[in-house]
Every structure is written in structure tokens, then in C-alpha cells.
Structure 1
Amino acid sequence: MTGNIIGNQNPLVGTTYTYEIKPSGLLFGLKGDYEWYLYKKQKNGIWKDITSKPKKGEKVTYRFGEIGLGIEFQMKVYEIKKGILPGMSATKELAGSCTLIPTSDKVSKIDKVVLFNRGAKDVNKANYRDTLIAQAHCIAMFNKEIEFHLWEDDAPGKGHDSNINKNNRHTRSYKALVNEKGIAEVPIPLMSDEKILRQMANQFLMKGDKNEGANHEYYVTATYSGKIQGASQVNVDVANPDYKGGSQNQPKPQPKPKPQPQKDTPKFPAGQGGAHKQPDPKGNIIEAVFIDDTGKELSKVAVGDKVRIRIHSKNMVEKHIQYVVWEYDTASNDEVFRSGNIKITADVHDTSGFIITKAIFEKGIDSPIGDPDSDKQNYFIEIISKDLSAESQKFGVNSEGLMQVEKVKSAAGVQKQNKNQTGEKCFCNRDFEEKDVKQLVKLLKGTETIWEGQALKGGKRAPCNISDKSFATLTKALNSAFKKYNINTCIQKTHFLAQTCEETGTFALSEETKSDYLSSQSIYKGRGLLQLTGVRTDEKDLTTLFNKPGPYKDYADYKNDQNIVKNPSIVANNVDYCIDSGAWIWSVNKKMPKAPSPAVDRWGIETSEKSLNQLALFGDKYLELISVLLNGRNEKTKMPNGWEKRKTNYNILKTGFFMYDRFHNDNNKPANAKDIVTYHIYADGTVERHIPKKIKSGYEKKYKYVYHDKNKKEHEICIADWIEIDKVERQKPNPTSVPKGYISHDSFNISGVNQKDVYKYSDGSIVASGKPGEGNGTILRKYVKSGGKTIIVKIPDPLNYNSDNAKINLAFKDTIRKYMGRDHFACLIGALAEAGFSKVTSGGAAMQDGTCFPSVSHTNGSSIDVAYFTHTNTQKFINSMIKFGFNYFLAGTGMSFSKPKGFNGTLEGGHSDHNGHLHGGAPKSLSISIKEIKE
């Protein structure tokens, strides 16, 4: 026992114990009251105060639950002494402390495993439309993860024979945590895997049997880390739909067969394998085909595409029909879409159509595992006449006429309008209100101003000649264009607005301002949201003007309005034309070439002939490609022109305006943890690096970062690119001049950035020059190889993730030092989440080569600078960084935060260089170890 607290240092969980403070030494003055506090030791070694309300008195009781089993606690007692004289304040002094580790007299085990059909009259009977419940009743295993497996029992009599049933385990596993009652529980929906389970059950029979009989018998096993095991002893009998011997033993009647196309309706096309189309016996419906918005017949589409139906008929004008789209199966067909009543207006009638959403596609999947239709499906059309007394008919072409639908796994698809827990709606298939557009503009621009023109040098501004500068008209035009050009989902609107706001300065201008660019001096200069621009009068001569209409003519033909060619300024002066032209470029004009082509070879076959609007459905995946298609690639940076602004707009809109992850947090995930090296960052301060057996193509040089909040919910924060570099360190003393013999020299003329010149030498050393951090003049820094390699990642800028339980926000200002060690970045994410600030501004970490001018202690991305917050929040941020392993801090001494109001956990700077920013890092190593887990 340490200190002077009397009580059990190893209390049994679930038992109440008394603890008493025994004051030591002579008492002088007035005796005070005692307050008891309890601290819990975190995995990173830091003690956390978990006292909700201090207990008071010389003697108190504590009872530890099973959640505290094996955890180290510290008990502290403080004496609150009143002042000796009236008016003197009370004092608080530590009176005693001790360390506790709760234990258990129970042996951890799975005591009982059960499987049952909850709510059924007989809990041991079920059919394949039911959801079974599996439970593991455990002892001394609170919060441990239990894994369940479902088995079909072929052993005779009671009990289970592992040898007989060795091939009868379902491939899917189910996991759950043991709750405070000692029970881990999972639902097992039989319907989702019916095909697989029935096949498994009927494949292996009990010896001597010819079939499985009226029931399939199922049981479950439960394990913890493959060590502690248990199995349910009572089977659940699931009615065997394949049993032909009678129904007297089946617990429930089998469900009715799913609907199928009517036998006498026309269908277009019919099934595969040479089946012929089924024509209309009355000859009224001649043909039906799938088309797109341009009228082109479709043979192959992807989830997220819009399709329409073209119906060829005779003697049907003013009559009504209904069409049904079916997914073709060799055995039975699945209905995926049914229209309302449609009035035929002409012998060739095009319907308004529908979007093949993820939900529609999933109607054609019988089982998510093992179903051949889970990735590709074939659709045909049934036409049902509503006005004729003759029977409805089906039309089919043949197997070649089936439309193939692909589920592109990385595409978000088109979602239904989503709501969060507070009832807020996303912007899928929903109009903007005027207040929404104002909020969007203010978020990107800082002010609620539009069509103010482009700012020029000298404080002048090029005017914007748009006719109506109201938010109301802009809002109406945007909503109209979204509907007309099928820019329907949050992710499509995010992409579209990110690009258009870069092109227009967030609705500041509607046409190209006259400049040295030849396009700006042309009759058909850039106009509208996405800069509709003509083509050169001589395409081979790059010095000629863009005075041929080109896309202007294409747009005029599309709208059947040749005034656009005669009076091109209408695209810049009229709000409707300005917005509509941008949406036309987005959804109709700009497309990827058709495969085979070098561009498709580079980006993937799924991009072939896709419009920008269709590429947007893939989420983050094709942001760079969309930007290149719109405005080309910069020869110097090798990235899209205006890339940083386009990317910033996209990230801000996605996280700050559309709140994408709040409504669509399960969609648009280009790679899961099985495909990519993934960091898992936990709210308790632990970090793990998970390495899959195989990394998905395209993700070999990327890391995924996932944060787990205190409620154990996962948040996929970002995917970052990484590079391997030579480790560097600062060489002392600083050079007084640039050594000769350098092999390369680069200059940086970026406003606000300290580093201006960098010189590289054949031995790998680097000399950088520029302004000091917060001073005047010019300084030099030399960095040399320190031996070995290291990996650094490029930090997304801005890094914004905001949900109910996780706020992770970081933006760089006046810096190009945007690289950090891969482990350090993971820990920084944890610290940002722990602090939970809505804005953190950084002055930078390290350069791409691992150097860090003008700093000397950021090498290899081990540290980062952030702007100060309030004193309280700065201390909170320091504490957050300490929790996640950062152990070296510098704060300025010539600032208002200097001693005696300094920060705990910092080394004072000693000079003015840190008066404007806090330095936090772990230059030698992080104080927490990152566990690497290989699959």
C-alpha cells in the first residue's frame, strides 16, 4: 500500500469495497473536508480523470464493474482546508494516493451458445424468410469480440459431429461484442444467403439418406480469438423448400413465388440462348428498346446511368401502356422497375425514363455472395397495354438485344434522398433554396457577393455584364439545369460546382477577361459557367484567334437556337444561358473517348465514353481526370490547370456544404481495408497499421486513414499519397553562402512562402535560402543525408471531415511544406479528432524532399506548426498531441502566452520565432508504438 489510503488494491469486480484516508503527521490549523478522485491509465500511459462527481468524507465506497477488469486505476484524495482567518481562501492539498487493479475470481469462458427464431411460436422452427438470433453467454469477457459461424447439421441424433459436418460451415461470419450482461448477440438473416445455404445443405447428406427431408438443421459456434469456443446444442429446423415429400412437417407455409412477366405480354428483348422475341399478337406494339437522352440505343450501361424506353407502335396514339423492366435469369426473372401509366403520343414514343440506382440494381440480386448477377445483369422490357381488351404482350429481340447493366463497384450510384438523425435532408434530387446558394458562395468566397467581376491589379475590377445579378435568378437557373441535365446527386453537384466555381471565381464573372491569352481576344471567347470557347481559325497555327464557333455551334444546334452563334455574348449576359451552357458541357459535350484509346487505357475501361457527369458518380476517384478534361494539364506541374483551387473547392463543398459523409458515409469508397494499407486510429490513443495480403491496383502508393471514435464508429478520413525519400537532417552551422557545384537549382516565387531557392548537390545534400520564419533578411539552411530511407505522405489540403462524433479540420496557409511522416500523420489525425476544433491553420510540416526551410526540426515530416488558439484551447491541443505520441513542443516567449501563463508540456522557445505559431512534433520517435498487423 502506498500513501495513506486503507483499502483493497485488487478489488474483485462486482464487489463493493470501503476505502479510508488516514491523515499522517501532525495536524496544524483547521481540519478540512476530503474529496476523492479516480484516474484511469490509458494505453498510451497517460492518466485520465474519470471522476464524474468527487466522493466526500474520510471513508467512501467504490465498486468496479467488469469493464474495469485488469485496468490500472489511481485513487487520489485531496484535503480541502478552510482559511485560518476570515476572508482567506480555502486550499486543496493532496492527502494520499494509491494504485488499484480490479481482478476477477471468474475464469473467462463462453458459458452457453444458443440459436433461436425470436418471436416465433416455436423458437426452434423457421424458414428461409426468417432472421435467426445467435447468442453467446459469457463469463468475465465484457467488451470482447465474439465470432459466430452458422453450420448445417448432418450428424444423426443429438449433438454435432465435426468430422461429418466439416464441409457444412457457412462462409459468412458474424461478430458482436459482449455487453455488460455478458451476452454477445447477432442477427443471422437467412434470406440474404438462401441460395448458398440451400445448396450447402442439400449437397452433403446424412449417410443412407436420399435427400435432406422436410427440414435443414442449423446450429452455431462461437469463438473468441480462436481459443475460447462454444456451440449451440439445440438445432433450429429450417423448412426445406426443395423437399417434395409433403408439407406436414414444415413449420410455416412457403412464400408465394415471386412475380414473373405475364405469359402473353410483348417483351423486348427476351432471354438469352437464342430465344426469340415475343411479339404482340395484335400487332399494336412493334418494338421497345432502351435509349439514352440523345436517342442513342443502349446495349450496355452502368449503375447511375439514366435510361429511357422508345416504344414503336401503331394504332396506339392516345392509348395507355405500362412498361416493366425485368432482370433476366435462366430460371426466373426479377422485376427491377415498373412505370406508371403512360399515354402514347406518337407511333414512336420516348418515355421520360429512370435512373438505374444502386437500389434498382440490387433488386436483381438474389444473394450478395455467390450470385452471378451481383456484378452484371441483363435487362429486358415488358409492355402492358392498359386500354385494349386484348391481352398484354411481351416483346423481345433476342439475346443480342439484352441491355447489360454493370455494377461499377467504385461508383456511388444514384442514391435516394437521405436523412440524418435530426431529419436534415441531403441534396440528392432536391432543389437549392436561395439561402443554400448564399451559404455555398459565402463558404467558398467569404462574402455573399456574386457577379461582381474579376479583380485586377491596382485595385480595379473588370465588370461582369450579366443581366440579372440576383441570388433568386441564379438559384432558379441552377435548379433548372440540374434537372434538365441529370445532375441529380450530391456527389455530381459537388463536382460540378467545384469546377464551375474555379472557372468563374465562384460566380464572380461570366466570361473570359481580356488578357494575353488569344482565346480572350476572340469573337467566341470563353463564356458561361464552364467557359464555352470557340476554336482557332487555323488549327495548326497556334497564334490565330478562336474565331470559329466550334462548340458554340454545337450548343446552338443542341438548343435549336442559332442566335447563340450570331450573338455569342448572350451566353455571358443571360443567366439562363450562362448556367445552361455549363451544364451542357458537363453532361453532353465533354466526354472520354471510346475504347480503345490511350486515355481509356490510362484511366480504365469504366471511363470509356463517360461524360463528366457520369465520371462524377465515382466520387473522389476521377477528380483529376474531370479537371484535365475541362481545362487541360499544366506542362510544368504535370497537374490540371487550376488544380489546387479545383481540389480545394471540391473538398470544401463535399465536407462543409453537402456534408457528404453525414448522409452517404457508406457510399463512394474507392478502396476498402482489404485493398489498401490502412491506418486505424482509435480515440483511446492507440494506432494500428493494417497491411492486406494484396493491394488493389492503383493503391500501391496510397494509405487510407480511418478514425474510430469513442463510440467505436469508424470514420474514413482520407486517402493520402506516399513517397519514399532519403532521410535528411540539418547540418550545423548554417552556411554563410551557397556552395558551388550544385547540380540543380529551383526558385519559388510564391507569395507568403519563406523558401525562395533550393540547390541540390550530387552527394544528396540540399541548401535552401529565403526569409526567416518571422523576421527579415535572408538566411541559409543546409540539409544532408542521415542514412536510410523513410516514407512521408502528402497531407490533403484542406483536410476536412465533420460528423456528429468526429471533427478533423486542417488547412495550410502560406506554405508548401505539406508532407509528414506516415505514422506522424496518423497521430496528427488522432490529435485533431481529440481536440475537435472546427479550424486548425498550419504553417507547414516538411517539403517533399524531407527538408523544412526555414525550420530545422521538421525534417522528414516529424513536426508541424499550427496557429495559436485561445490559451485554453492551445493547451487542449497540446494535450491532444501528447495523447497521440507527440513529445516535443515549442511556444514563443515574447507573446501574451509566455510565462507565468505558459503551457504545460512545452519547451519555451527562447526567441520570437514561435510567437506566431506553436511547434509540435516527435523528431526522434513518437512516444506511442504503432502496431503493424499483416493479413
Structure 2
Amino acid sequence: MSKQGVYKISGNTQPKIGETVTYTIDEWYPATPKEKRNPALVTWQLFKKVGGKFIPTNIKKKGVSSFTFQNNAYQNTYRIEAYLHKPEGKAPMALEVQPQPGDVPRINGIQLKYANNTPGNVFNFTEKLIAEAQCTGLEGKYLKFTLWEDDSKNSGHNARNLQVDSKPGKVINGVAKSEFTLTSALMKKAIQGETDVKQLEFYVTVEYYENKKHASENVNINTPKEIYPPAKPQPKPGLPTSQPKAPGSPAAQKGQSQKEKNGLIETTTEAIAGIASVVGKKIHDWAEAKGTVKKDQKPAPPPPSEKSPTVVQNAPEQQLHKEGKCFCNRKITGEELKEMVIAMRKATFDEAGENFYKWNNDNLFTGGHEQFTIKTYEKFAEVLNKTFENYEINTCIRKIHFLGQCYHETGSFIKSVEGKKTQKYWYDPYRGRGFIHLTLKGNYQKFKDNSGYDVVNTPTLVSTNIEIAAMSSGWYWKYNDIGNINPFADKDSIFDTSRLVNKPNATSPSSINGYNQRVNAINALKIVFKYPYTCISLGKKEVTNEETPCPSDLKNCICFDKFTVENGFIKHSRVVKNQVNTIENGLFKDPITSIQKIILHRTAGGTTEACINAFKNGRKNKKGGIDHYGTHFIVGKDGIITQTANLSKITWHCAGWNSKSVGIEVVGFAIDKNGKPTLGLKGQNPVSGWENLTEVQAKSVACLVKALLNYYNLDKSKIDCHEHLAPKEAGEGQIVYNAIKDYL
């Protein structure tokens, strides 16, 4: 049969770092049918040259031919290939690409936009402002965006009162963005005594500073984020009056920004002659945009959706399989899979005590009233390998647990559907199907939304199409409502992978269906895999990526250090212990697996001490008694993290979620419409907003959240806000999340 598919591609073989390059299809094999000559059907894959050979990376996209090489990619040689069926590994359907270093890192400009992503410079006080900076050579770096009032008409105004808000923005695809809510500017004016503000002029300044050599000692002297003006500051000798420029940087050519001219200087502390001194941070580049907020300006309509090209970092290559080693990052063959199935069947037994191999030998999917049309080991291995690749089931232990769970779910790889045709279930037609039984309409709907396969109207697709059966099982393994199962496989916890597949709220093995069979199957696979003796992934320590630095710029931080927990309390220099026994109410069923969410709160108080006292004193209930509410952690305006409760014990902080979550109280006042503190109690003004977090506070909260997500094996989707889960004042936790999200 004549070859079909892409014959020749073209494009820039020496792209600059940071520039998006699009590659094109020039020719097709002559035998390629017209209906297949569709660029949307073509897979574009990136390979990286390692040890003289091109190794596949994790970048493989269908229909997307744009690539952006980033960071240190110029240090490597790549191959880009386009194909319909499989790569051929040669020209002219592949191009060898050598990225070139980009220009000097710089901020090319900044643009103000409405929430609908259209440019503008006149806003309403109720609107969200988007500041967008275009950059070169800064991919993955964090820029600082500052919203501040242009107070040129009042030259006597304190520079510290000019700043409204400050946020980080990460450069992605050459663009960094930050969002500001303009009501905070109105509140600040109200606090200064201006109650009828019709118009306000402002600047947004974006800055990039040199890498900090003293990151752990950074302080913010002149740019506090509190919404309340501080007490009149006492003069401090030696404070910098201008922003130092990094030698040879774009900033050195630009002179002073309006922000700098108005006395808003970014500082840090350095040891000079053995004395800690406040000095200005060295700025590498900056850009500014001016805008106006008007009371009577009509708000812009909501935003449309967007699409992005593929971005190529210094792409991590997939590890090559070394013969005789292990199954990490390589495909399983049909023969190897047969050996695994036979081993599991010989290790598991029916009620009569006979092993499953006696009755089924090595036959696949011979039972059930809904069956696959293709049942060969080659096809079975093919769909499993795709699932492993797409859902990060890429190490020996992850594959062992996944296959062991699938084995039991399918009755030893005999049935792809739950029960008999004559049996009726209350959840029909959405009975269990696939390798890990997809069950209930909600899960069928979510898988449809994710995959595009209409399994809601045709649920039998999951039990009759082996590719969809495999895909749905990988989808559930990584994206089920409880969370990614891979981290529990990494810990080799058969109990946890079993309960998450069969019964998430199980507290003991006896409540999990077929638990002993699952254990035996997994242990049998370990023998076939020669695990752990030959596994190349064991002992590897994850290194913190530059893409996710410590939010607080510390070398030693709980957000990437492995901290210890002794008697329920974190032992780390970043966490202060101040136990409040009265808020501890019983034990979690399991101190790790019980936790499903990290919940963000505000204290409606001004200090950590006031919050702790409130925890201790409690609150009167309707019966005249005292209820003690509280969270495991408090983060003060100074960024200090205080742990107040044992991590193995439940606290009352969010109705309905106390036994399944850890809470973080973030110090800050609730405010009324005039920007003044209020609790919203009888005789007080109602709560209309919340005090902004200080910068150091936001960074500390982000560090703590990252640490807890790692400790509990949760992803970022498990961060939630108090008001989203229980009746509370609107925005209480959301303002915290908005302040930390760019650091996560």
C-alpha cells in the first residue's frame, strides 16, 4: 500500500527565543486521499536531541503548528515533525531546528484593557482593569504591576498614599497580565475624606527587577498594600530617593518612571559593612500607562474566550527505556501485557478457591452482554499506552496500581460492563463501564465534556469501544471529583488507590469491594515489573522549577521544602506554633486522606493576636453556651504564619466541610461602603468589602497553600473560599484567592 500523510513541511529552522513560529505543510504523499489532506488532522510533535538521538518530548498537538521556544531552549537541538499516523523520523516531513538566543530581556510596552479584553483608558469605578505587558526574553519571570493615583494636583500628598494596589504577573507566551478592581481606588479616596469622587487619574507601572541576591531578606518600605493610610511616618535616615538601574539594562536608558518621580521606590535590605541597610532594588526595565476612572463611565461588556499557540520551554524529554531495566516512560508490548494478565489471574481466586487463570487462561474480554469488537493484546496494549501518556501514568508504580485496579474492576479483564443484561440498577443506563467502571450520569457527562464523545446519549460506547474505555479510565484516574490518584500510587498506597476507585469515603479495607483481590493483583504485577529493584524513578528528587518559584523569594521555604510534622504541628522556621486547644474538636478519620480542600477565610480583625483571642474566647450560641470556632492557621499582615491547631484534629471553620478540610484565616478588616472597618453587627454599617492583603502577607499565604497542597496530595482546584461553601459575606475568601493566585 502506498504511503499516505504529510510528505514535506517548511518553516524557520533558527527561531529566536520568545518568538512564535508557525510551520506549514508543503506537500502530501500522492496517495493521500483528499479528505485526509486536512491540517486539522495532522499531529505536530517535538523531539529533542539527547546523546546523538532525537527523543520525543511531551509536546504533541493535533492541528496546532505554532511553536514558541523559551528560556534555555537555544542550548538544545530539536526536530519538528508532522504526520497523520506515526512519525518517520527523517526529512522532508521533519525539520531540524536550532533555536537562537533572544534579545536583551525587556518590557516592550504596557496596555490597559477592559474586562472584555479590548483596549481602553477610561473606566468606571465598578470595573475590573486588566494591565497587559508585552515582553521579550522574560518568559516565566514575574513582573510587578502597581496601580497608583496620579496626584500631580496635590504635590503635598504623601507618596505612600498614592499607591492603590500592587500585584505580580507571570510572563506567559511573551505577555504578563494583572487585574485590578477599581473599587479599591474609590475606597482609598473615601478613607482620605473624599466622599464624592467623580474622577480619578491613575497610572499602572510594570517593572522587572534584577535577580535578588538577598531574596530572603526582602522588605517593602514604601509600598504597603493596606487600604488604610498608615500613621504619619517618622523620618528614616538614609532611605533611597531614586530607583537604582541595573547596568546596561533597558531601564538605564529610559530614565525615571512617573512612579519613581512620585517617590514610590522599591527597596530591599542588604548587609553593608555588617549592618542591615535599606537600599533600592535594581530595576532592569519598566513601562507605564495612564488612565482615568469616571463615576459616570459606562462599564464594558463581558470578555470573549481565547486560544493560544503551543509554547516550547526547554522541553523535558521522555526517558528512553533501557533493555532489562523498567517500565517507566516507555510502552508496554502486547506480549508483556499478556504476561501481566496471566500473573494477576494466577494470583487471584474466585469464591470456590480456584484462580482465575484456570477458567480464563489468557483470553481477553470474553464475558458481559456488551463487548469490544477488537480484543487482541496488541490493541489492548496500544490503548493502554495512549492512556498512560495522556494521563501521566508514566512510572512503574503508577502503571502497577492503575492496571491492578482495572483488573479487578473488569472481573480480571473479562467484562467491560457491570452486571448482567437482566439485572436492573437505579442508575441505569449509566451503569459501570470501561476499565475503571465509569458510573452515574454525572461522570458520564463530565467525561463527555472532556473528551467530546457523546457517552451520555450512547453510554455503551464506553463498553464497546476499547479506545473510549481506556480513555475514560485514564480520565477518571486523574480528574475524578476527589482528586488525582497518581500521587497515592506514588506512595504505593493500595488502600488509597482502591478506595478512590471503589469507595472514596471508605475508612477501612473491609468496606472496599474486592480489596484482597486488588492487593493480590498489584503485588503480582510488582513481581512482573521487578519493582522496586529495577525502577529508575525511585530515589529521584523533584527539583523546584523556575516556573514555580517560592512566592516569598526564600531559599528555604515550606512551599518546596519537605517539612516534618511532629504531634500534629509543622516544624519549620516559617511556622510559629500557638496552640489554641479550645478550637480542636475531635480527630480526622485519616489525618491525610480526609482532607479534600484548603479553605480561605478573612478574620474581620486587624491583628493575629486579636484573631487568636477571638478563637480562645469563642462566641455565644442560642442556648447561652460558648462555641469555639477557628482554623488551623492564621497569616498576619506581617506575613508570619501561625499554626493554632493540631493537623490531626478537626476545627469548626466551615459548616459541612470541617471534617474534610483545613482552614486558613488571613488577617484583615471587613469594611463598609466608606472603606471603614465594620463587623456588620447591629448598630454598625453592613460589610461591603474587605481590606486588601499586604504584599508580604499574600506571598506567605501562597507559600502556605502550596505547602499544604503538596502535603495532602491535592491540586490547585482544591483551594476554595469560605463563602463558596457556606453562608458568609461575599468576597471574604475570594479577595484572598485573587491576591495569591498569580503566585501559585
TM-score (norm 1): 0.25
- Greater share of helix: 2
Return the structure number with greater relative CO, CA threshold 8 A, min gap 6: 2
- Greater share of strand: 1
